[in-house]
């Protein structure tokens, strides 16, 4: 069983090279975490977070720029340790913050499929079994024998998305980068992405896209200034955050699915 439990967790970044004059201005800014002025200025990216997530959780993370979404994802992935409080994570985490991370420009597409898979916690043998299927999905043909540096940006994304959607994660931590993929290819990747989430034990997904949140999540967390402002059913939380009913144009089937999921809970 996978689970994440966070109690009273804060994450702070001391800024050793901050200039005081420019800092005064940023204290007044609306975006971003609180900056406290001590000997060394400290950015409080997360403050006193309490969160329990269990098997089957499908959580969307929303909030303004600098609200703490990426920091929270990194805390949940075990990449950051809390500076106060604690975070315990049970389950193998596949963190997908940047599709291109772990790709090497000098080796071929085929080799990159293997490397990227290992990076996401798969074994070499598991990836060898998936290579052909990923190659088909990417439609890159002979290019897969060429070094990655010869690929266009879109070609790299095809490859990376093919690998990312082929894995079997226990805990899937997704940052919104995935939403930046070109629309036509994304349409093709949509089913794979849904299947990926379906076989993941848990999903936490930071996104600004209503469409993606509806597609993949059933509950949400609204981050604001480093704290959890609201947590609950996706429709309520995202609508409060955006100030309008973001699901008013959805089909009755989708609304029913979301309501069922939020009642049953993770």
Cα dihedral angle (228, 230, 234, 240), rounded to 10 degrees?
-120
Q: Which of 213, 266, 218 is nearest to 2 (CA)?
A: 266
To the nearest whole angstrom, how small is the minimum distance from the Cβ of residue 22 to ligand ATP? 13
- Min dist. Cβ of residue 27 to ligand ATP (A): 11
47 binds ligand ATP (CB under 6 A): no
Q: Is 251 a residue that touches ligand ATP (CB under 6 A)? A: no
Binding mask 197-226 for ligand ATP (x = CB under 6 A): --------------------------x---
With binding defined as CB under 6 A, does residue 262 bind ligand ATP?
Answer: no
Q: Does 67 interact with ligand ATP (rule: CB under 6 A)?
A: yes
* Residue 139 vs residues 67, 105, 122, 159, 203: alpha-carbon distances, Å: 38, 19, 23, 9, 28
* Closer residue to ligand ATP in complex, CB, 151/241: 241
Q: By CB under 6 A, is residue 69 in contact with ligand ATP?
A: yes
Query: To the nearest whole angstrom, how small is the minimum distance from the Cβ of residue 123 to ligand ATP?
Result: 31
Q: Rule CB under 6 A: say whether 41 interacts with ligand ATP.
A: no
User: Beta partners for 95?
Assistant: 173
Check binding of 113 to ligand ATP (CB under 6 A): no
Cβ neighbours for 140, distance < 8 A, ≥ 6 positions apart: 109, 151, 155, 158, 159
Q: Are strands 93-96 and 171-174 parallel, antiparallel or unpaired?
A: parallel
């Amino acid at each position: 069983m996978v689970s994440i439990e966070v109690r009273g967790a804060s994450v702070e970044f001391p800024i050793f090279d901050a200039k005081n004059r420019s800092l005064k201005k940023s204290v007044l800014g609306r975006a971003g975490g609180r900056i406290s002025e001590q000997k060394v200025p400290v950015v409080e990216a997360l403050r006193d977070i309490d969160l329990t997530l269990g098997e089957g959780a499908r959580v969307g993370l929303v909030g303004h720029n600098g609200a703490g979404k990426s920091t929270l994802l990194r805390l949940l992935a075990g990449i950051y340790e809390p500076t106060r409080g604690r975070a315990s994570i049970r389950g193998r985490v596949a963190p997908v913050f940047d599709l291109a991370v772990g790709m090497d420009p000098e080796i071929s597409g085929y080799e990159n499929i293997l490397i990227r898979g290992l990076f996401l916690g798969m074994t070499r043998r598991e990836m060898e079994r998936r290579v052909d299927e990923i190659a088909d999905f990417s439609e890159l043909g002979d290019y897969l024998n060429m070094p990655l540096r010869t690929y266009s940006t879109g070609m790299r994304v095809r490859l990376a998305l093919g690998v990312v959607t082929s894995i079997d994660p226990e805990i899937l931590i997704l940052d919104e980068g995935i939403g930046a993929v070109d629309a036509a290819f994304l349409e093709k990747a949509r089913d794979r992405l849904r299947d990926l989430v379906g076989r993941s034990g848990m999903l936490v997904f930071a996104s600004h896209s209503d469409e993606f949140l509806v597609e993949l999540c059933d509950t949400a967390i609204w981050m604001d200034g480093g704290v959890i402002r609201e947590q609950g059913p996706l429709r309520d939380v995202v609508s409060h955050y955006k100030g309008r009913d973001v699901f008013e144009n959805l089909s009755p089937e989708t609304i029913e699915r979301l309501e069922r999921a939020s009642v049953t809970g993770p």
